[in-house]
Amino acid sequence: MWPFKGQPKADYSNVKFNDLNAPFPLFEAPVSNASNFHGKGQCSICGESAEVCFEFGIGSALIQSCPKCQTETGLDASDKEDQICKKCGATIYFPPIAEEKVLCCYACLRAGRAAITKDTEIGMISWEQAFEGMTHGRPGLKHSDFELVPTDSDWIRARLPQAVMFELLRTPTYDTIQGDQWQFCCKQPMVFLGEWNREDFHRNAPDGQGHAYFQKIVQGIVPGLWEDNLHDVTGIYVFRCSHCNRMTAHWDLA
């Protein structure tokens, strides 16, 4: 059955971040599609109560300045360990957070006090890659929109403006079965619109022809995907380019 549904977030069905006064330029999907969405909570970073908080764990980091040289470092929110500053060697302490769960409010995320790792079609981006200005890369990566940087292995990295990378890190990750794969168009990250089912394709098709629209925008379609008879749970993740309005989607299955 598609669409795949992540953790139930009953109170927030059909609510978007815009509705909560917490807009994300790259995420227009319902909040129920955001994998680390927590809702109302007390932020572990600034201590304030906030309407929109995210639960931080694997793949997310708190960004802290070195007490000696002010160089910024990401501290992994799941292992909560101190780090050694790469520039000067001083210890950067993980902040004392009493709660089991590390929560990050919208304001702290947008202010760059935290970062959520993204996987993308041109390679993974975590805070380390953003500071370097290059994705982690992919084996044999090809893409005409970006300067490609070879490594010692067959992995090829892509150079991106740091502002673009930080914007992605300040955006929620979307729920998937196999992992996110942020799409790019016109040299920019596309806008995530949500996980669509057949009704969504019908409703959004310019001429109401959902099946034709599905065939036009979904990558790597296999027989049975539209009919939803693959004998697996599947998910279809839809993006729009904010420059040229091109639509695309990738899909996965359990």
Given the structure tokens 């299955």, which residue do they identify? Answer: 253
Residue 211 or 246: which CB sits closer to Zn ion? 246
User: Which one, 95 or 139, has the nearer CB to Zn ion?
Assistant: 95
Which position has the token pair 């673009």? 164
The closest alpha carbon to 172, from 31, 49, 18, belongs to: 31
> Quick one: the chain helix, strand, coil %, rounded to 5?
15, 30, 50
Give least dist CB 122 to Zn ion, A: 14
Q: Which residues contact 214 (CB under 8 A, 6 or more apart)?
A: 198, 201, 221, 226
Residue 235 CB, shortest distance to Zn ion, in Å, is: 23
| Identity of the residue, 204 or 242, whose beta carbon is nearer to Zn ion in the bound complex | 242
Q: Which residues bind Zn ion (CB under 5 A)?
A: 43, 45-46, 66, 68-69, 71, 85, 87-88, 90, 105, 108, 185-186, 241, 243-244, 246
Report how far residue 109's alpha carbon sits from residue 171's, in angstroms, rounded to the nearest whole number. 8
| Interstrand relation of 191-195 and 188-189 (parallel, antiparallel or unpaired) | unpaired
Pick 46 or 253: Cβ nearer Zn ion: 46
- Least distance from C-beta 7 to Zn ion, angstroms? 22
Shortest Å distance, C-beta 242 to Zn ion: 8
Compute the least distance from the CB of residue 187 to Zn ion, in Å.
8
Any idea which residue has 């740091």 for tokens?
A: 162
Nearer to Zn ion, 75 or 225 (CB): 75
Cis bond upstream, residue 3 (ω within 30): yes
Give the span between the Cα atoms of 195 and 180, in whole angstroms.
12
User: 44, 97 in Cβ contact below 8 A?
Assistant: yes
- In the complex, least distance from residue 161 CB atom to Zn ion, rounded to whole angstroms: 16
